[in-house]
Amino acid sequence: MTTQTLSAPEVYQGQFGEFTITQSDRTGVIIYRAGLMIAALSFAIGSALVLFNNHPTNFAVLTPLFACFTLALGVSLLTIHIYMAILHRFLQVFWAIGSIASVGLAFSNSEPLAVTIYNHPFTLFGVGFTFVALTGIYFKEAFCFNRLETKVLTFTVPLLLLGHLLGILPIQLEQVLLGIWAVLFLVFALRKTVQAIPADIGDKSVFTYLKQQRSQQV
């Protein structure tokens, strides 16, 4: 047995044929998970400041934390593996809309971004698209891996945001939902770090098949 044989990549049997996982595939998954972890940590720190140290001087810190969260989420959306290309593009477009709206609000108001969003719920019609994209990731992970935390988050995030937008949730319930969101987001990101990398890459033969189908249609 030669050294070349020993170092040959493992061949997987997919739905539409065999495929191998490259180092580039693995790097993409690591970047995806790192983005999720940074986003989760940024969100958790910001949520903790709001829930446990709700002092006006802390509000200014929330804006850079939100920027870090948004950028990390964007990186994850670039490297996530989703079979449906149109869904992947929609999530990226939603993230872009939310990011543009956030930048616009941050530069057009003297008060911190978090305060603007909280005091003016209608701003969620713009900024909220960022969280729609995030919820899309939760839904994808819940569907693919049957994770309890992402199942709960898929419903918790829209409930909190729509409830605040419509003004129908008491402040105490909003705080509870925010706490649940922050904790479960961290749990989700931490569990991803110990998941086998090939699971996040998925069946590459499906991606190849779908790409061929699109090429034939064109």
- Closest by CA to 191, choosing from 142, 136, 133, is 142
**Beta strand ranges found along the chain (DSSP E):** 11-14, 17-20
Q: What is the Cα–Cα distance from 106 to 114, expressed in whole angstroms?
A: 9
**Cα–Cα distance measured from residue 98 to residue 118, given in angstroms and rounded to the nearest whole number:** 15
Burial 157-181, CB ≥16 within 10 A → b, else e: bebbbebbeeeebeeeebbebbbbb
Is residue 139 domain-resident? yes
- Backbone φ and ψ for 145, nearest 5 degrees, come out as -120, 0
Residue 9 lies in a domain: no
CA nearest neighbour of 164 among 212, 203, 131, 209: 131
Q: What is the CA radius of gyration of the chain?
A: 20
pLDDT at 38 over 90: yes
Mean pLDDT computed over 75-89: 92
Whole-angstrom distance, CA of residue 94 vs CA of residue 140: 15
Mean pLDDT of 84-95: 94
pLDDT digits (tens, 9 = 90+) for 1-25: 444 444 556 776 767 767 678 888 8
Identify whether 14 is part of a domain: no
Position with higher pLDDT, 197 vs 2: 197
User: 2 in a domain, yes or no?
Assistant: no
Residue 112: predicted pLDDT: 85
In a domain, 97, yes or no: yes
What tens digit of pLDDT does each residue of 139-152 get? 999 999 999 999 99
- Give the least confident one: 10-24, 64-78, 91-105, 183-197: 10-24
Q: In this predicted model, which residue has the larger pLDDT, 205 or 154?
A: 154
Provide the domain count of the chain: 1
pTM for the model stands at 0.90
What own/partner pairs with CB < 8 Å and gap ≥ 24 does 110-118 have?
111/59, 112/59, 112/60, 112/62, 112/63, 113/62, 113/63, 113/66, 114/46, 114/50, 114/59, 114/62, 114/63, 114/66, 115/59, 118/164
The string of pLDDT tens digits covering residues 178-189 is 999 999 999 999
pLDDT at 1: 41
User: Dihedrals φ, ψ of 17, to 5°?
Assistant: 135, 180
The answer to whether position 11 is within a domain reads no
Residues in the chain: 218
* CB-based contact 188:156 (threshold 8 Å): no
- pLDDT score recorded for residue 9: 67
- Residue 39, domain member (yes or no): yes
**Structural domain that includes position 127:** 31-196
Q: Is the pLDDT of residue 202 over 50?
A: yes
What is the C-alpha to C-alpha distance for residues 94 and 87, in angstroms, rounded to an integer?
A: 10
Return the exposure string of 10-41: e unless at least 16 CB atoms fall within 10 Å of the residue's CB, then b: eeeebeeeebebeeebeebbeebbbbbbbbbb
Residue 61 lies in a domain: yes
SS3 18: strand
